Structure 1
Amino acid sequence: MLNILFSAQPERWDEYKGPLNAAFATAGLQANIARDHAPEAVDYIIFAPNGPVTDFSPYTKTKAVLSLWAGVETVVDNPTLTQPLCRLVDPSLTAGMVEWVTGHTLRHHLGMDHHIRKQDGVWEERFPPLARKRPVTILGTGALGAACGQAIHALGFPVTGWSRTAKELPNIRHLHGQDGLQAALSGAEIVILLLPQTPATENILNAETLALLAPGAFIINPGRGPLIDDDALLAALDSGQVGHATLDVFRTEPLPAAHPYWAHPSVTVTPHIASTTRPDTAAQIICENISRAEAGQPLKHVVDRNRRY
């Protein structure tokens, strides 16, 4: 019998208890999944960064910590976490992100905000270019960024992807490294941020890189708040270098009521809802990974502590 600790906010237990037990029963694994196991008895931890476990040192028997979140930046530097840490790669989370990113890409491309807000009776014909004339750049081409890139390409947009290391992705012009970053951003009309938060990616959009974009470009950030230098973005919005920013993530969440993003006419704030973990599919992913470990197979999606993702 495996002892599996569920360490997330208490209200999430009611959502996850059924799917987790069903997944383990289907897999034929006997597991006691609970919120109150003694640390020394725990074989695996199902973990969310806002849950109760912050000190992993008492969990001496624990074989792995499996995150319910795609991002691990808030726990990867925890000095007590010596067990393998697995991030969540869930097709449902990816699908949700694709839908959100594609929707806002089309919203900005078509100029929907202008028509929705215009109520003064003026017949003003504005025609957007065809998608093939609107270059889109995606910073971050992991599972989420690559999937969004394929969906946007399918709509006709020319897509450039960028990451720190070289990749080959179908339908996407892929660049990497510092020189590649400048080339990827130069002339981009829509920029989508889906990078992990690391020291190397913090403030990747700053005064210098924002100046590379096509005038009036759109920024869409469902990745991580610290990827953007907020002061630089506000200045670019005020000058018109950036036409609009749709932001789902922020350095401080919830976004403070006094933050200038709330009142800025060229900023859309959404409350970190671009995509979320779905209990039914997340339970299956976690069960599969634990099954692999118990069968002597390597865990999937183990975090590289040096790269921080």
Structure 2
Amino acid sequence: MRAVALGGGHGLHATLTALRRVTREVTAVVTVADDGGSSGRLRRELGLVPPGDLRQAFAAFAAEDGGRLWAEVFQHRFGGDGALAGHAVGNLLLAGLFEVLGDPVAALDEAARLIGISGRVLPMSPEPLEIEAEVTGLDSRDPAAVRRIRGQVAVASTPGQVRRISLHPPAGADRPPAGCPQAIDAVLGADVVFLGPGSWFTSVLPHLLVPDLHDALVRTSAAKVVVLNLIPQPGETAGFSAERHLDVLFEHAPALRVDAVIADRDSVPDPAGLHRAAGRLGARALLGAVADPIVAGRHDPDALAGCVRQAIGEHRG
């Protein structure tokens, strides 16, 4: 079974970890809009695709393939207060491969060979992109006033309420964001495609705003599964219900139809509302105990894998 997971950061890490319990044929399609921390510094200084979310995907694959040392090294950050302080080893390695090979996809494939993983990591776009959000609640005199803010960090940390996002190519490019051809082919050739969990406005929805990738998600014959977050995120989705997450997804991609929505039953106070929201996307909601019982806000990979098997089995049936 060929599975494709779209997202970024810790949310994508959770999906990949669960998927490797179901199939070895897994491709990660990763957001490339990060502009903070080590990734932001490398992006600004070198003009490269930000490597941080890509690094997280490599770490997930390496840990599941028995390369725990590589996973730890990739995630290791230098301390101190010098030029390397805060940089992750994996970010620097990927940045070096990007510069030497001149092609992010070739660089990522070479990194996969280097650490010996069987999964594939691809960017959603071969160029760094920028997120812009429409936000309310930033003006104390007029809480309904809409303000536009740019940058993933600014959007993720806004004290206002994010209403809608758009995605932009590098400065000066008068065209829509470009999709990664290999990522588009992976989606079209997949048996199952996953969206989420993760930062809804900055890791999940951006994939739907790359026109070529959006079209592939609409056209693919793969089963499409949305995995919801366990808790709302301060700033991005504060106060969001589970069904509101789906409504926002539909607002950004009204042509998209989904087959299943996976959610943690203890995180959904209104199951009937979630079933109705899933139905508007053409999907069935699957509620299970998928939260880690020890670490709050984290999915349990074995439980999530069980829900994934159920979703795929029902689709095939």
- If the length of structure 1 is used for normalisation, what is the TM-score? 0.31
Larger radius of gyration: 1
- If the length of structure 2 is used for normalisation, what is the TM-score? 0.30
